[in-house]
Structure 1
Amino acid sequence: MKLHQQIGVDMPDPVAVTAPGMDSAAVSEYLTQYMNAAQDALLLLDDAGCIQYCNLQARLLAHSLNPDKNQDELLHLRDWQPGLLSDSAMHTCRESGSWIGAVRIAGAVLRNRIAQVHLVALGPQRTQPFAMCIRDITLEYAREQELHERNAELEIAYTKLKSAQEMAFHTEKLASIGQLAAGVAHEINNPIAYVKSNLNMLRLPLAQLLRQARIPECEDDLRQAVSDELNEDAMNACDEALAIDVRDLITESLEGVDRVCRIVSDLKDFSHQDQAENWTMADVHAGLDSTLNIVWNEIKYKAHVVKSYGDLPLIECIPSQLNQVFMNLLVNASQAIDNNGIITITSECSGDQVRISIGDNGKGIPAEALPRIFDPFFTTKDVGHGTGLGLAISYGVIAKHHGVIEVTSVPGEGTLFMLKLPIAQPR
């Protein structure tokens, strides 16, 4: 029996109810015409995979897969192409009522085509007959593969961009430190200089105090050390004054050493890269003060800093990155002031976020430049005085913290940057 002759063999009634004046035979004929006009291959199978019905597209598919076989040799689906419908697919259809999957078709005419196979159990209790639809999805599959490839390329590009962003962040940080190196060195040299001076001044008072203690083994050496400066009567006359001087000199020297330690510690924390991605609960005020300590030499000759700190909780953040933002804004504020200016730092807690404002009464930002100040490599500074990355990186850091950075500026009056940061990062 020919495939195209099998229509109507053991076919269920196409419709249970027909319109007035239209019998079942007419409905069946119309449905047959419609199914033959369909673009998909449509089949009815029994439980063993024998073909009970197939439309025109299905017959064309069978012939394309097997141009050397006649229709009598294609009465079973496995004769079309092995694996077109697997035993597991049939089993799944019996268990759940349907199965859908993709199959690669490879015939004499059709090569490297991808077909979507949809199998549905039509009989009672998920038994025969089974309806089967075979749709050519080669183009859709190719587009999907292309989309996956594009997504993979985007993932690679995103990884490279993220790496470049991190490198730019670190480069900008090192550039900022480089610009401030002279100032930091000056801040360190000042306490080191007076510590050294104090130690030199301590030599004579300590020599006299030790002489007063009458240490036999060092008395001769001490007497020789002071003989060129003071006589014995003068030394005995100022014992109490010397003791006070020694105490003051040591106290001052310790303060100088502590100051150096603070600067070095703040600089180390600021530039520490191995903690760059560690989210932690941190004190914003400690970060501001630490950053101020680093940039102080940049500010102290130009502006007076006015701090107005509110009561802030610890916030979830990457402290080193926020410190970079604070530094960028403070240095920009200092560079916007010619002389005798004011830099204000205020903080407050508002609901589930904290707000930090850094402002200055400097030259301000021109209105036409405001929309572009966060663009990479855009700067209003003179050549050689800015990379154009500071505010761009600051914007990225605040966005990474799910915060907002806002700016208002009036030329000739000053600029105010406001940072809004969540206390806890969204999960």
Structure 2
Amino acid sequence: MERLLNLIPDGAWETAAKDGRWQGEVVADPTSAVVEIKLFAAQGGGRERFATFADVTSRSTRERELQCRHDELEFTYQRLAGTQQQLLQSEKMASIGQLAAGVAHEINNPVGYIQSNLATLQDYVSALFAMMADYADTVAGSGDTVTRAALDAKRERLDIDFITGDLPQLLEESREGIERVTKIVQDLKDFSRIGPDEPMRPSDLEKGLESTLNIVWNDLKYKVRVEKHYSALPLVECHASEINQVLMNLLINAGQSIQDRGTIALATGADDGEAWISISDSGCGMPREVVQRIFEPFYTTKPIGHGTGLGLALCYSIMAKHHGRIEVSSRLGTGSTFRVVLPVNQPDTQPVNHPLTEG
């Protein structure tokens, strides 16, 4: 009995005297048995005290096992939920890609008409201005002062000199605008060209990077200066649209990390059968504990409603599918660099999940 009484923790009787009872579990050395202790004390100044002891080792073991199973199921559920969300996100991006390709095709036809018509209109205007100049020279040399005075007055009233200077400029600006639209449409087509169900094909990563940069440029142009340090790249066997999606996520994240004004540096290179693209920003950077978790599904440092935490997880999944990896280096307050590395030729083996590589 004395050995059992020695198991009662310090302060337990005081708690029982105050509250009427105390209950807890302790481990009895050296047997490691789990003992449930219940203490009862009389209220109102009574001296009666009671204690019960029960061996609950098997129950405690079962509870621990159940808790372990619960934790495993919770972890599996979270992984399945993350996988489901990534699949939904992939399907959504595939649908957006198909929509973008269709819209680009529909836009291309009228844009082509406008571009052709503007070029023809520029030729017509040049011919008309040349003819008007000839008429003006003819009238000036005719000696008909009345007609010349009337034409000069009308020319001044209609501000013909301004029109002849401004109209070619308007046409040129319109032509440049159409060329810009044509470039954006082509970039949309390039961005969404290859679907995930199609075989991987040799692709121009630099062209994909430029197309993706053009698509997200509206989000960057007001606060970001872009530096480009490109090296010659071989064609890389991949799903171009999926790699473009990775680059788009990284470019948008780089822009969002810059608060006021900053720089994004783009670089490309190839060595040892691999091609790489690096995206460096002069933004806020990340501490090590954040870097270690950024590819986890649903993990985000953004305010609620400003991010799902799936963007980088999807990037990680795409890179694993391509037998590639994303290398990350970051310093808090200095900026971050994400390096996308892909094999030039896909191996025959099944893809594996590469661990996150920190620089």
With the shorter chain as reference, the TM-score category is 0.5 to 0.7
Report whether the alignment pairs 1:383 with 2:307. Answer: no
The one-letter amino acid of 1:231's match is K
Instruction: Rate the CA distance shift 1:213–1:308 in 2: closer, same or farther, 3 A.
Output: same
- What stretches of structure 1 of length at least 5 have no aligned partner? 1-159, 177-194, 215-226
Match for residue 283 of structure 1 among 201, 204, 224? 204
- Greater CA radius of gyration, 1 or 2? 1
- Partner in structure 2 of residue 249 of structure 1: 170
Q: Deviations over 1:77-135 (max 9, x none)?
A: xxxxxxxxxxxxxxxxxxxxxxxxxxxxxxxxxxxxxxxxxxxxxxxxxxxxxxxxxxx
- Partner in structure 1 of residue 232 of structure 2: 311
Q: After the TM superposition, which residues 104-183 of structure 1 pair with which residues of structure 2 at under 5 Å, given as runs?
A: 165-171=86-92
Instruction: Rate the CA distance shift 1:273–1:281 in 2: closer, same or farther, 3 A.
Output: closer
Report whether the alignment pairs 1:404 with 2:331. Answer: no
Report whether the alignment pairs 1:424 with 2:350. Answer: no
Q: What is the rounded CA distance, in whole Å, between the counterparts of 1:412 and 1:316 in structure 2?
A: 36
Q: What is the rounded CA distance, in whole Å, between the counterparts of 1:258 and 1:417 in structure 2?
A: 32
The one-letter amino acid of 1:324's match is Q
The one-letter amino acid of 1:326's match is L
Q: What is the rounded CA distance, in whole Å, between the counterparts of 2:198 and 2:314 in structure 1?
A: 15
Higher-RCO chain (CA-CA 8 Å, sequence separation at least 6):
2
Q: What is the rounded CA distance, in whole Å, between the counterparts of 2:287 and 2:84 in structure 1?
A: 33
Q: What is the rounded CA distance, in whole Å, between the counterparts of 1:280 and 1:365 in structure 2?
A: 35
- Given that residues 285 and 331 in structure 2 are in contact (C-alpha distance below 8 angstroms), is that contact kept between their aligned partners in structure 1? yes
Q: What is the rounded CA distance, in whole Å, between the counterparts of 1:332 and 1:284 in structure 2?
A: 19
- Given that residues 266 and 294 in structure 1 are in contact (C-alpha distance below 8 angstroms), is that contact kept between their aligned partners in structure 2? yes
- Given that residues 208 and 235 in structure 1 are in contact (C-alpha distance below 8 angstroms), is that contact kept between their aligned partners in structure 2? no
User: What secondary structure, in the 3-state scheme, does the structure 2 residue paired with 1:346 have?
Assistant: strand
Shift of 1:273: 6.9
Shift of 1:256: 0.6
- Given that residues 361 and 414 in structure 1 are in contact (C-alpha distance below 8 angstroms), is that contact kept between their aligned partners in structure 2? yes
Report whether the alignment pairs 1:296 with 2:217. Answer: yes
Shift of 1:206: 8.5
Report whether the alignment pairs 1:266 with 2:266. Answer: no
Q: Give the superposed CA RMSD.
A: 4.3
The one-letter amino acid of 2:340's match is L
- Partner in structure 2 of residue 373 of structure 1: 294
Report whether the alignment pairs 1:361 with 2:282. Answer: yes
Instruction: Rate the CA distance shift 1:172–1:388 in 2: closer, same or farther, 3 A.
Output: farther
Shift of 1:294: 0.5
User: What secondary structure, in the 3-state scheme, does the structure 2 residue paired with 1:295 have?
Assistant: helix
Query: Could you tell me the TM-score, scaled by structure 2's length?
Result: 0.56
Shift of 1:304: 0.6
Aligned identity (percent) is 43
User: What secondary structure, in the 3-state scheme, does the structure 2 residue paired with 1:368 have?
Assistant: helix
- What stretches of structure 2 of length at least 5 have no aligned partner? 1-80, 98-114, 135-149, 349-359
Q: Deviations over 1:167-226 (max 9, x none)?
A: 3223367799xxxxxxxxxxxxxxxxxx9xx9xxx9xx7897498499xxxxxxxxxxxx
Instruction: Rate the CA distance shift 1:268–1:162 in 2: closer, same or farther, 3 A.
Output: farther
Instruction: Rate the CA distance shift 1:390–1:164 in 2: closer, same or farther, 3 A.
Output: closer
Aligned length: 236
Shift of 1:404: 1.3
Q: What is the rounded CA distance, in whole Å, between the counterparts of 1:315 and 1:208 in structure 2?
A: 52
- Given that residues 172 and 390 in structure 1 are in contact (C-alpha distance below 8 angstroms), is that contact kept between their aligned partners in structure 2? no
Report whether the alignment pairs 1:231 with 2:157. Answer: no
Query: Could you tell me the TM-score, scaled by structure 1's length?
Result: 0.48
Q: What is the rounded CA distance, in whole Å, between the counterparts of 2:128 and 2:273 in structure 1?
A: 63
The one-letter amino acid of 2:205's match is V
Q: Deviations over 1:394-424 (max 9, x none)?
A: 1111111111111111111111111111111
